[in-house]
Structure 1
Amino acid sequence: MRAGLAVVDMAFRTALLLGFASILALVIVRVGADWLDGLDPFSAAGRSPLRPRQFAARSLVLDVIRQALLALLVLAAARILTGPDVRRTLALTAPDGSGLRSRPLAWLLVAWPVAHIAWVTGTGEAFGVPVARNATLSPTLHEAGTVLWLVNVVLLAPVAEELLMRGLVFARGLRGAGPGLTVATTALLFSAAHVSEFGLARPVSLLPLALVLGWLRWRTARLWPCIVLHAWSNLCMVAWMLSPVG
């Protein structure tokens, strides 16, 4: 019973924080972009379909703001729930004697991109949405937009998502579900949060990463290794996709 309640609690907190961050970001982008375009965000008068460049810019800014808001909401929730000891709650500091030796971590960072890329490309083929190399970014993005996109993928998203999943939600899960069930639950929630227009292809492709991140969080009792591995995994995947077929 206690483990079941802990799983429900983890799912509820994940949905609540992700949903609130997404809705708030959508409102901010809608109102702000309309204001910059000289439109009334609360009126349909004078509206026309967004041009490709406008749509790409709004989509990018929406995701950036959502990730930033998510990180802030997690920090605020941790402060409300646990008081001033936010760093320990989110595993930004660890108890003495905990952790994993640097050599296994280094080997994980070296080996993981190969395994991750192989799994992602394999699941893409299995679901009929192959992940191609020599990909190109949207031509509607300016140089600044490309840089912002890269910062979001490699920095903002790993930090925000790890603060939520392997930080706050993981800490709450350990209290009632134990490490094994917490690792599995956070992995499933993390994967489910990435459902897209491609259906289950992306969630399935991210499940091994989520499990490894959960194991790393439990084994090290620290969040920083999870953020580093998540960011490194994203960077390697992007580099592989953008690299020319040789």
Structure 2
Amino acid sequence: MGRILALVAVPFVVLIAATLLAIALVRLVGDWRLGIDPFTPTLQRPRLPLAELAARGVVTDALRQGLMALLVVALAAWACRGAGPGAVWARLGFAAPAIPRASTRRLLWLLPLWPLIHIAWVTATAAALQVNFAQGVRISPFLSPSMVALWFAFVILLAPVAEELLLRGEVYARASRFLGPAATIVTTALIFCLAHIGLEPAPRNANAFHALARPLTLLPLALTLGWLRWRTGRLWPCMLLHAWSNLALVVYQIGPGLR
């Protein structure tokens, strides 16, 4: 039980640490840029423009992913200290597995099918829980074009890379040391889903099931990513499918709003 608790604690500690660091850095740099003392008491701080607040939110999200990736690599390096950099990349799933696995080319058939599978599951889950999920999504009008580009980079590139490094990289390596393949896949999938609870604010009219909608919609993706990690022995197929899934869902969510 102790090893399971430690396994669950690692990703949440990394996520919390990266989030707090990102918030602090964005506030320090942003305030310095505007000539504000970042240590000014909250009640005495000047009210920031909406465009500034929106931009800080996007930069914080993007920076958090970068810090997460750095922390994961540092954790892997600590776990492999004395073994050389090759051991770090092997631990994280970047090196070819010692035992040949399934050809990654044979798994490319999953890419054209996945958006249909994922969007169908998201839509069905939202309907079953009676939540307004994946509908009426809009990009903030207060974001500049550069911030919109950064937001897309965060969703489609930074988040898949950082989250896969953490879950199917370091956490998978730790879990596979004392769990079987099926248990490792399920454990990393559950942690992945739980980590997404509360990352997005609930709308005012949200019902009691809204908090469950996000993790439930991610469950098939999380299980598939774990299966890919086990089946191929590599991390990049997980990053590729995760990025493709995010892109498909974003297009589905914001597409109607662009018409």
TM class by shorter chain equals over 0.9
Alignment of 1:154-233 (within 5 A): 154-196=156-198, 197-198=201-202, 199-233=211-245
Post-superposition CA distance 1:181-202 (Å, at most 9, x none): 1111111111111112341211
- Matching residue of 1:34: 31
Post-superposition CA distance 1:10-42 (Å, at most 9, x none): 201111111111111111111111111211111
Alignment of 1:8-157 (within 5 A): 8-44=5-41, 46-83=44-81, 84=84, 85-102=87-104, 104-132=106-134, 135-157=137-159
45-54 vs 186-195, which moves further: 45-54
Unaligned runs of 5+ in 1: none
Evaluate the alpha carbon distance shift between residue 200 and residue 242 of structure 1 in structure 2; reply closer, same or farther with a 3 A threshold.
Answer: same
Q: Counterpart amino acid of 1:179? A: P
Q: Counterpart amino acid of 1:34? A: D
Unaligned runs of 5+ in 2: 203-210
Report percent identity of matched pairs.
47
Q: TM-score, normalised by structure 1?
A: 0.92
* In 2: Cα distance, 1:131 partner to 1:104 partner: 33
User: Do 1:133 and 1:243's aligned partners in 2 also have CA atoms closer than 8 Å?
Assistant: no
User: Do 1:121 and 1:130's aligned partners in 2 also have CA atoms closer than 8 Å?
Assistant: no
Evaluate the alpha carbon distance shift between residue 100 and residue 130 of structure 1 in structure 2; reply closer, same or farther with a 3 A threshold.
Answer: farther
* In 1: Cα distance, 2:13 partner to 2:221 partner: 23
User: Do 1:124 and 1:130's aligned partners in 2 also have CA atoms closer than 8 Å?
Assistant: yes
* In 1: Cα distance, 2:256 partner to 2:54 partner: 24
Post-superposition CA distance 1:120-166 (Å, at most 9, x none): 12222233332355743110111101110001100000000000000
* In 2: Cα distance, 1:158 partner to 1:132 partner: 19
* In 2: Cα distance, 1:15 partner to 1:172 partner: 14
Query: Does 1:6 pair with 2:18?
Result: no
Q: Counterpart amino acid of 2:234? A: R
Instruction: Note the C-alpha offset of 1:210.
Output: 0.4
Q: Secondary structure at the match of 1:176?
A: coil
Aligned length: 243
* In 1: Cα distance, 2:194 partner to 2:136 partner: 28
* In 1: Cα distance, 2:102 partner to 2:193 partner: 25
User: Do 2:104 and 2:232's aligned partners in 1 also have CA atoms closer than 8 Å?
Assistant: no
Q: TM-score, normalised by structure 2?
A: 0.88
Q: Counterpart amino acid of 2:243? A: A
